[in-house]
Amino acid sequence: MVKKPAVVVLGAGYGGLMATVKLQKLLHPNEADIVLVNKNDYHYETTWLHEASAGTLHHDRVRYRIRDVVNTNRVKFIQDTVEEIKADEQKVILAGGELHYDYLVIALGGESETFGIQGLKEHALSITNVNMARKIREHIEYQFATYKAEDEKREELLTIVVGGAGFTGIEFLGELVNRVPELCEEYDIDPKKVKIICVEAAPVILPGFDPELVNYAVSLLEKKGVEFRISTPIKECTPEGVVVGKGENETELIKAGTVIWAAGVRGNSVIEKSGFENMRGRVKVDMYLRMPGHENIFVIGDCSLVINEETNRPYPPTAQIAMQQGEHTAKNIAALIRNQELDDFVFDNKGTVCSLGEKDAVAIVFGKKLTGFKAAFMKKVVDNRALYLVGGLPLVLKKGKFKLL
């Protein structure tokens, strides 16, 4: 009997899980062994984490068991942490052992990028995974509880600074403005005492997005109490709050009980550790999504860098592109195993939705601008579609968003 090739997928995020699900469909058990490695025994919806972080959606609603969507008779699932990839030996170093591969899919996801800003790692919280999301939810609630229990009132405990006005920052703000009134009710606090400040180093909000939709988002959030401070870089984060730049040489301390860092995403540090050529943990892949110089390694999701030829700039890392890459990679690996020709990857941008709480959003879908409840509806359709693509109707019914209007 000829030894079957081993296809190893690292990471069960949007890209890795999609690749695994498609591989288990495409490849006959005689063609290859499939192995999936992931830190947790669950997948989580990164694009829903802002809701779990604000506390508007329970974290069990944003995750599901890998075993519920992956056929574990067909795919060997290993719960472990990837430490390094040794490409010259065709093996992966895990915290708990080693793993040989013939074909590798690197889908390890991104990490928070702090750009070397002092104190950010220690004192700010990033919306990166389920563990952090529930910590953020509890952190904010603990500040409110503490404020109310102290005799000498420290108003800054009720100040929340959000660093970054990109998609993550804006979507988190959209949830936060809905959550704060609930917290004020729970802790008998006057809502007027709460401050939500969004600090952004760039001179724009939602860079690259349609200006009309940006205006809609900003005025809605401002109406609900958010103060925007653009062109305002964070210089340092301290236990008291953030020090921001003001004009040429001045700085200002904004005292805040909670600092959320939502301004930077980078690739994965395993990429760097493994000695691959990269830009902040991201690999510029070839037209087939392969690592240059390694015909059997595919890189997808937040670790891969694909150039948009229209703008000559990389596509931003989104769930949409990761899932398309996952599906495409599964097909290309099947082709490689069968000695067939590979297909180029072409990103099919179906649009972008930025939610502003449960009942509002801004969106461009198939080239059309949407705001308000129509856009919010689209957001839920997009969310349910992601579930459908991975787990079919059963997963949509189990984890989907049904309050569509």
Can you tell me which of 89, 98, 138, 182 binds a copy of itself, judged by CB under 8 A? 138
Q: How far is the CB of 42 from a copy of itself (least distance, A)?
A: 9
Nearer to a copy of itself, 35 or 157 (CB): 157
Q: Show the CA angle centred on residue 88, arms to residues 85 and 93, nearest 5°.
A: 25
d(CA 138, CA 179): 12
Least CB distance to a copy of itself at residue 71 (A) = 24
Q: Say which residue the tokens 């004192």 belong to.
A: 123
Q: At 284, is the secondary structure helix, strand, or coil?
A: strand
Using CB under 8 A as the binding rule, whether residue 139 contacts a copy of itself is answered as yes
- Laid out side by side, the sheet with 91-94 consists of 82-86, 91-94, 97-100
Report d(CA 207, CA 263) in Å as an integer: 12
- Using CB under 8 A, pick the residue from 1, 2, 149, 405 that binds a copy of itself: 149
Residue 146 lies near a copy of itself (rule: CB under 8 A): yes
Interface residue with a copy of itself among 22, 50, 137, 224 (CB under 8 A) is 137
Comparing CB distances to a copy of itself, the nearer of 19 and 124 is: 124
Q: Are strands 75-79 and 250-255 parallel, antiparallel or unpaired?
A: unpaired
Interface with a copy of itself includes 134 (CB under 8 A)?
yes
Taking the least distance from each CB to a copy of itself, the nearer of 6 and 145 is 145
Return the closest-CA partner of residue 350 out of 385, 310, 376, 377: 385
Binding residue for a copy of itself, selected from 91, 148, 246, 385, defined by CB under 8 A: 148
Which listed range, 4-12, 146-154, 264-272, 294-302, lies at the site for a copy of itself (CB under 8 A)?
A: 146-154
Show the CA angle centred on residue 271, arms to residues 265 and 272, nearest 5°.
Answer: 90
Which positions from 18 to 57 touch a copy of itself by CB under 8 A, shown as an x/- string? ----------------------------------------
Footprint of a copy of itself on residues 186-225 (CB under 8 A)? 186-187
The single residue among 33, 68, 113, 141 that binds a copy of itself, judged by CB under 8 A, is: 141
122, 114, 115, 17: which is closest to 70 by C-alpha?
Answer: 17
Q: How far is the CB of 148 from a copy of itself (least distance, A)?
A: 5
Interface residues for a copy of itself in 154-193 (CB under 8 A)?
186-187
| Token reading at 250 | 């001045």
Minimum CB distance to a copy of itself, residue 84 (Å)? 17
Cα 126 to Cα 244: distance, rounded to the nearest angstrom: 18
Report whether 241 contacts 255 (CB < 8 A).
yes
Nearest to 258 by CA among 94, 397, 147: 147
Say if CB 22 and CB 326 are below 8 A apart: yes
Please measure the distance between the N-terminal and C-terminal CA atoms of the chain and give it in whole angstroms: 57
Residue placing its CB nearer to a copy of itself in the complex, 187 or 388 = 187
Told to check if 132 binds a copy of itself by CB under 8 A, we report yes
| CA gap 133, 56 in Å, rounded | 11
Among 131, 219, 269, 308, binds a copy of itself (CB under 8 A): 131
Examine residue 142 and tell whether it contacts a copy of itself (CB under 8 A): yes
Minimum Å distance from CB 138 to a copy of itself?
Answer: 4
Pairing of strands 283-284, 304-305: parallel
Q: Is residue 212 annotated as a catalytic residue, yes or no?
A: no
Q: Quote the least distance from Cβ 124 to a copy of itself, whole Å.
A: 13
Choice between 132 and 242, CB closer to a copy of itself: 132
CB atoms under 10 Å from CB of 187, counted, come to: 16
Q: Give the C-alpha separation, 390 to 21, whole Å.
A: 7
Q: Which stretch binds a copy of itself (CB under 8 A): 5-13, 64-72, 131-139, 251-259?
A: 131-139
Bridging pattern class, strands 125-126 and 258-261: parallel
Catalytic pick among 171, 175, 200, 327: 171
Q: Which residue has the tokens 């830009």?
A: 279
Which helix (H) or strand (E) segment is 176 a member of?
helix 167-186
What character string, x for contact with a copy of itself (CB under 8 A) and - otherwise, covers 378-397?
A: --------------------
Select from 78, 145, 204, 335 the one that contacts a copy of itself (CB under 8 A): 145
H helices within 120-163, ranges in order?
A: 120-123, 130-149
The site that binds a copy of itself (CB under 8 A) totals a number of residues, namely 15
Active-site residues, by number, are: 171
Residues in the site for a copy of itself, rule: CB under 8 A?
131-132, 134-135, 137-139, 141-142, 145-146, 148-149, 186-187
